[in-house]
Amino acid sequence: MSSSRRDVIDFSALEKDLRASVEAELKYRRENDAKLRAVQQGVASYQQFRDLVLTSHLTPLHKTDKNARKHAPWNPVVATGNTPDPQEQHAYTHEPQ
């Protein structure tokens, strides 16, 4: 009995295909759940509906979440109680003179 190329199973290709299929199924379910939530919430426009679906892969941040810097909170303004200076905010706006 001789073995031909068609008789050989490429397990790495099968695994790659399986992973892609599982990822596609998870994405479909996540986006479909977002669509159902958006309809249930009664979004005002298609743009809001679309934004909810497109951002369905995001998860909310918690106060304990940190950014890339070590020992720095994700929102340092809230953590320290500092408020931005309104004068500084207006310094960067381009108003006609």
- CA dist 5 and 3 (Å) reads 7
Tokens 């905010």 correspond to 89
User: Per-residue pLDDT for 90 more than 60?
Assistant: no
User: Per-residue pLDDT for 78 more than 60?
Assistant: yes
2, part of any domain: no
Within 8 A by CB and 6+ apart from 56, the residues are 30, 31, 33, 34
Domain count, the chain: 1
Q: Show the domain range for 46.
A: 8-91
* Tens-place pLDDT, residues 63-75: 777 665 566 666 6
Per-chain mean pLDDT for the chain: 79
Task: Write the single-letter amino acid at 17.
Answer: D
* Tens-place pLDDT, residues 49-65: 999 999 999 888 777 77
- CA dist 58 and 31 (Å) reads 11
Phi, psi of 51, rounded to the nearest 5 degrees: -65, -40
50, part of any domain: yes
